[in-house]
């Protein structure tokens, strides 16, 4: 019984260490570098969701380029 409790404690400790490292790294990456978003509706047609399809397109929003003012003519910008 004592061995099983020791295993559970080690598992919980390892999970917490990983969680408290992974969450800040993931949040920083999603805020500063890039994130994935869905585009729904007719606002971006015909570039995205062509032909009035009911499905949504998935796009990668590049925060890095916008933060460094590397936006060029023809780029799609999301606010």
41-67: pLDDT as tens digits: 777 777 777 776 677 788 888 888 888
Domain count, the chain: 1
* Secondary structure letter of residue 52 according to DSSP: G
pTM of the model: 0.60
What residue numbers bound the domain in which 13 lies? Answer: 8-38+57-72
Check residues 1 and 29 and name the one with the higher pLDDT: 29
Look at residue 23 and tell me if it is in a domain.
Answer: yes
Whole-number Å distance between alpha carbons of 77 and 43: 13
Of the pLDDT bands very low, low, confident and very high (cuts 50, 70, 90), residue 32 is confident
Percent of the chain whose predicted confidence (pLDDT) is above 90: 10
Look at residue 24 and tell me if it is in a domain.
Answer: yes
Look at residue 52 and tell me if it is in a domain.
Answer: no
78 close to 37: Cβ distance less than 8 angstroms: yes
Look at residue 48 and tell me if it is in a domain.
Answer: no
Look at residue 43 and tell me if it is in a domain.
Answer: no
Look at residue 47 and tell me if it is in a domain.
Answer: no
Q: For residue 35, give the H/E element and its range.
A: strand 34-39
């Amino acid at each position: 019984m004592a061995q099983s409790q020791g295993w559970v404690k080690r598992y919980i400790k390892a999970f917490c260490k990983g969680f408290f490292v992974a969450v800040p790294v993931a949040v920083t990456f999603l805020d500063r570098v890039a994130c994935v978003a869905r585009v729904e509706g007719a606002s971006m047609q015909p570039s995205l969701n062509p032909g009035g399809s009911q499905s949504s397109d998935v796009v990668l929003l590049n925060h890095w380029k916008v933060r460094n003012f590397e936006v060029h003519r023809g780029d799609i910008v999301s606010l």
